[in-house]
């Protein structure tokens, strides 16, 4: 079994859950080791958290460039870890990186450095006849392909997609007391980063948490609005219904272009692909552009005044009618049902 | 300032898009179009040229039909176009594509200019959506990448931009030359006007083959799907979704949806 290197994702001193998901995938593919990149002095605490998860092998790079250069510090750390592991006689067969925007670009640059095959946006990865086979949805989920790399596989894994032991994102804590964990192997990367190649990060402005609503791609219920909602206030109807289900609000491209909501809410071929348990489309005609981003949903409900709208062809239950009379009645009925159910 | 804009011909997102059994996009079916994100990248480049002067070169790698995308870019206002076109390139993966584009960028410095100053790309193509090529190209060229930018400015040899991701925004800067990629919010692309369409016919459009790029660091024997570093082994189409019940609202539509959801344990 080859070594599988996992790039740890962390934020303000805490490991992100996606790191656990990557570790769960890595454990199925070979012998996992974590590559940890932090600012100076922050490494040991995070390595301790990894030890608590049962991770025994950690490569640690502490660098002043960790938060001040885009992409290249993580690439340098991974490259150094791969080379070190190989020098120690290990076969490195895979590198797993979170499929965030940052992670995808780290993977891309790493592939050039190591001449490795990139597998992007995997939702699963298994070992088949000793080869890493990744499952990747393409064209908005209209197809699923299995992909392999020649030689070392650099795989970006879509967050929240790895299921371990039936619970998404959970890795069983292995019974390893902190004391038996080996000390992190230190990587020196600063000399290389001084030579440049990375854009300078001047300032970071984290997005403020958007109230109580979950993210579009994580939500189990998504209520999307289309141009049929007509106005900003009309679009608020989608928000009212979403809040009733603790869901996220989405939008069609037409709604975004009409300025009814912010572009980040767009679902479809040029927006987000969502696969919630329940998807409710309000005033959305359902052009291919939109359907491609939502037809993987468990159950689809559509309300539209046009009986010929293509959204009805994919809806499990559709109502031809006015969203402004149907949705308030729906909200009332859901509230009444819940009250009756106690 | 000399700018190279990467463009790609993709199946229009408003039409049906299909995948062949070998995992490649079926370019025979579907309506080909200049990827709209690339129109925005070109718009950003044209605006930079308006303030800083210089030339805008559009570059694509693709089959002969991709020349249509280049003509549109010329009609929008690009000065020159370069088309890397060679049958041996079919099936290239992102790593191979970035190697070809890096060689082509080196080969396409404007006449008289020592080199290029800026490469502009869309943040991700609407077909592949891996967003890998701009970062890979930057690595190949040994340059910083400023990617997923919602806004860009160049002043005194420094490019600055605001990177927009779901996690927030990041202010970036780097000395030129550099590779940037822009998002959907970066610029509203102009429509080619009649004058632009007419003048596009007389603008230089160069076609390069793999052999032409051999002097710029490209290894011909490593090109094409047979030599790619990532391979698709199986392709499964998602089963078509069957439509369910559709009713006309008779005044009980909202309640009927609630009843449907209750029966499915979704309330």
pLDDT at B129: 75
Domain boundaries defined on chain B: 3-227
- B9 versus B100: the higher-pLDDT residue is B100
**C-alpha to C-alpha distance for B98 and A219, rounded to whole angstroms:** 35
Q: Do A288 and B126 touch (CB under 8 A)?
A: no
Q: How long a stretch of residues is chain B? A: 267
pLDDT at B115: 76
Q: Does B93 touch chain A (CB under 8 A)?
A: yes
Q: In what order do the strands lie in the sheet with B230-237?
A: A124-128, A131-138, A143-149, B230-237
Which residue of chain A comes nearest to B227, CA vs CA? Answer: A150
Q: Does B187 touch chain A (CB under 8 A)?
A: no
Annotated binding residues of A: 227, 252-253, 266-270, 283-290, 304
pLDDT-derived band at A166, boundaries 50, 70, 90 = very low
Q: Does B211 touch chain A (CB under 8 A)?
A: no
Among B163, B236, B266, whose Cβ lies nearest the Cβ of A144? B236
pLDDT at A178: 44
- pLDDT exceeds 50 at position A179: no
pLDDT at A175: 46
- pLDDT exceeds 50 at position A12: yes
Which residue of chain A comes nearest to B92, CA vs CA? Answer: A117
In a mutagenesis test of the B interface, which of A139, A141, A334 is the best target, namely the one with the most B β-carbons within 10 Å?
Answer: A139
Q: Do A317 and B257 touch (CB under 8 A)?
A: yes
Q: Does B127 touch chain A (CB under 8 A)?
A: yes
pLDDT at A211: 62
Q: List CB contacts (< 8 A) between B31 and chain A.
A: none
Closest approach of A41 to chain B, Cα-based (Å)? 24
Q: List CB contacts (< 8 A) between A105 and chain B.
A: 131-132, 135, 145, 147
pLDDT at B241: 75
Residue % of chain B over a pLDDT of 90: 63
Q: Does A244 touch chain B (CB under 8 A)?
A: no
Q: Which residues contact A337 (CB under 8 A, 6 or more apart)?
A: B258, B262, B267
Q: Do B244 and A334 touch (CB under 8 A)?
A: no
- pLDDT exceeds 60 at position A271: yes
In sequence order, the β-bridge partners of residue B160 are B153, B173
Q: List CB contacts (< 8 A) between A153 and chain B.
A: 230
CATH number of B3-227: 3.40.50.620
Among B136, B253, B260, whose Cβ lies nearest the Cβ of A329? B253
Q: List CB contacts (< 8 A) between B127 and chain A.
A: 139
Q: What is the ipTM of this complex?
A: 0.89
CATH numbers and ranges of domains, chain A: 3-194 (3.40.50.620), 221-341 (3.40.50.1220)
Among B19, B131, B255, whose Cβ lies nearest the Cβ of A139? B19
**C-alpha to C-alpha distance for A298 and B264, rounded to whole angstroms:** 11
List, as ranges, residues 141-170 from A with C-beta within 8 Å of B.
Answer: 141-151, 153
**C-alpha to C-alpha distance for A99 and A104, rounded to whole angstroms:** 6
**C-alpha to C-alpha distance for A267 and A251, rounded to whole angstroms:** 6
- Within 10 angstroms of residue A308's Cβ, the number of other Cβ atoms is 9
Q: List CB contacts (< 8 A) between B168 and chain A.
A: 204-207
pLDDT at B124: 84
Among A117, A120, A277, whose Cβ lies nearest the Cβ of B229? A117
Q: List CB contacts (< 8 A) between B260 and chain A.
A: 301, 316-317
- pLDDT exceeds 60 at position A171: no
Handedness of CA B116, B118, B120, B123 (dihedral sign): positive
Average pLDDT over residues B89-99: 92
Q: Do B248 and A264 touch (CB under 8 A)?
A: no
For helices A323-341 and A232-244, the axis angle rounded to 10 degrees is 20
CB A165 within 8 A of CB B134: no
Helix, strand, coil tally for chain B in percent (to 5):
35, 30, 40
Q: Does A100 touch chain B (CB under 8 A)?
A: yes
Residue % of chain B over a pLDDT of 70: 95
pLDDT at A138: 83
Among B140, B170, B231, whose Cβ lies nearest the Cβ of A201? B170
- pLDDT exceeds 90 at position B215: no
**C-alpha to C-alpha distance for B152 and B49, rounded to whole angstroms:** 13
Among B178, B233, B258, whose Cβ lies nearest the Cβ of A147? B233
- pLDDT exceeds 50 at position A176: no
pLDDT at A207: 72
Q: Does B12 touch chain A (CB under 8 A)?
A: no
In a mutagenesis test of the B interface, which of A319, A330, A339 is the best target, namely the one with the most B β-carbons within 10 Å?
Answer: A319
pLDDT at A165: 52
Average pLDDT over residues A56-83: 96
Which residue of chain B comes nearest to A204, CA vs CA? Answer: B170
Closest approach of B197 to chain A, Cα-based (Å)? 27
Which residue of chain B comes nearest to A145, CA vs CA? Answer: B235
Q: Do B259 and A150 touch (CB under 8 A)?
A: no
Q: Taking the mean position of all CA atoms in its chain, how far away is CA A335?
A: 32
Instruction: Give the mean pLDDT of chain B.
Output: 89
Annotated binding residues of A for FAD: 227, 252-253, 266-270, 283-290, 304
CB B139 within 8 A of CB B95: no
First to last CA, chain A: 54
Going from the C-alpha of A155 to that of each of A55, A134, A328, the distances in angstroms are 20, 8, 45
Question: β-strands A221-225, A248-251: how paired?
Answer: parallel
Which three-class secondary structure string do you get for A111-163?
HHHHCCEEEEEECEEEEECCEEEEEEEEHHHCEEEEEEECCCEEEEECCCCCE
- B20 versus A115: the higher-pLDDT residue is A115
Residue % of chain A over a pLDDT of 90: 65
Q: List CB contacts (< 8 A) between B243 and chain A.
A: 312-315, 318
Residue for token pair 């603790």: A246
Average pLDDT over residues B82-110: 90
Among B165, B237, B245, whose Cβ lies nearest the Cβ of A101? B165
Instruction: Give the mean pLDDT of chain A.
Output: 89
Question: β-strands B3-6, B56-61: how paired?
Answer: parallel
pLDDT at A98: 95
- pLDDT exceeds 50 at position B133: yes
Average pLDDT over residues B106-110: 75
In a mutagenesis test of the B interface, which of A66, A103, A112 is the best target, namely the one with the most B β-carbons within 10 Å?
Answer: A112
pLDDT digits (tens, 9 = 90+) for B43-74: 999 999 999 999 999 999 999 999 999 999 99
CB B27 within 8 A of CB B91: no
DSSP one-letter code for A222: E
**What pTM was estimated for this model as a whole?**
0.85
């Amino acid at each position: 079994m080859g070594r599988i290197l996992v790039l740890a994702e962390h934020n303000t001193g805490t490991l992100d859950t996606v790191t656990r998901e990557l570790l769960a995938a890595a454990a199925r593919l070979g012998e996992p080791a974590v590559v940890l990149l932090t600012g100076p002095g922050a490494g040991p605490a995070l390595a301790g958290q990894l030890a608590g998860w049962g991770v025994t092998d950690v490569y640690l790079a502490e660098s002043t460039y960790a938060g001040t250069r885009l992409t290249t510090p993580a690439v340098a750390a991974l490259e150094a870890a791969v080379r070190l592991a190989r020098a120690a006689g290990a076969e490195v067969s895979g590198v797993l990186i979170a499929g965030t925007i940052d992670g995808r670009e780290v993977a891309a640059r790493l592939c050039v450095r190591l001449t490795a095959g990139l597998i992007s946006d995997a939702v699963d990865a298994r070992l088949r006849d000793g080869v890493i086979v990744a499952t990747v949805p393409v064209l908005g989920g209209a197809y699923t392909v299995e992909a392999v790399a020649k030689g070392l596989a650099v795989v970006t894994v879509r967050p929240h997609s790895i299921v371990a032991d039936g619970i998404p994102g959970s890795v069983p804590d292995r019974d390893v007391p902190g004391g038996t964990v080996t000390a992190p192997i230190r990587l020196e990367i600063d000399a290389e980063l001084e030579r440049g190649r990375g854009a300078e990060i001047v300032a970071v402005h984290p997005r403020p948490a958007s109230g109580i609503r979950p993210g579009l791609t994580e939500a189990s219920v998504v209520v999307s609005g289309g141009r049929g909602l007509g106005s900003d206030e009309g679009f608020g109807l989608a928000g009212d219904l979403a809040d009733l289900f603790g869901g996220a609000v989405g939008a069609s491209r037409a709604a975004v272009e009409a300025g009814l909501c912010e572009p980040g809410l767009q679902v479809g071929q040029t927006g987000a692909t969502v696969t919630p348990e329940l998807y409710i489309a309000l005033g959305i005609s359902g052009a291919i552009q939109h359907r491609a981003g939502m037809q993987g949903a468990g159950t689809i409900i559509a309300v539209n005044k046009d009986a010929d709208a293509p959204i009805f062809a994919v809806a499990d239950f559709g109502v031809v009618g006015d969203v402004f009379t149907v949705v308030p009645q729906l909200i009332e009925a859901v509230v009444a049902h819940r009250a009756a159910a106690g | 300032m000399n700018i190279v804009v990467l463009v790609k011909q993709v199946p229009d997102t408003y039409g049906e898009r299909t995948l062949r059994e070998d995992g490649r996009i079926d370019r025979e079916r579907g309506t080909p179009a200049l990827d709209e994100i690339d129109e925005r990248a070109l718009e950003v480049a044209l605006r930079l040229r308006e303030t800083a002067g210089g030339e805008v070169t559009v570059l694509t790698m693709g089959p002969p039909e991709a020349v249509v995308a280049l003509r549109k870019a010329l009609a929008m206002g690009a000065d020159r176009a370069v088309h890397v076109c060679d049958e041996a390139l079919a099936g290239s993966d992102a790593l191979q594509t970035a190697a070809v584009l890096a060689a082509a960028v080196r080969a396409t410095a404007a006449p008289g200019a020592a080199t290029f100053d800026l490469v502009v790309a869309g943040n991700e193509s609407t077909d592949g959506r891996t967003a890998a090529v701009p970062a890979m190209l930057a690595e190949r060229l040994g340059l910083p990448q400023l990617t997923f930018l919602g806004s860009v400015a160049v002043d005194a040899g420094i490019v600055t931009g605001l990177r927009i991701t779901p996690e927030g925004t990041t202010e970036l800067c780097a000395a030129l030359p550099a590779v940037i990629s822009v998002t959907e919010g970066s610029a509203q692309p102009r429509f080619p006007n009649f004058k632009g369409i007419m003048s596009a016919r007389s603008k230089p459009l160069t076609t390069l083959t793999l052999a032409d790029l051999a002097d710029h660091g490209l290894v011909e024997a490593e090109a094409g799907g047979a030599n790619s570093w990532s391979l698709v082994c199986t392709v499964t189409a998602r089963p078509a979704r069957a439509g369910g019940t559709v009713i006309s609202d008779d005044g009980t539509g909202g309640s009927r949806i609630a009843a449907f959801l209750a029966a499915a344990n979704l309330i």
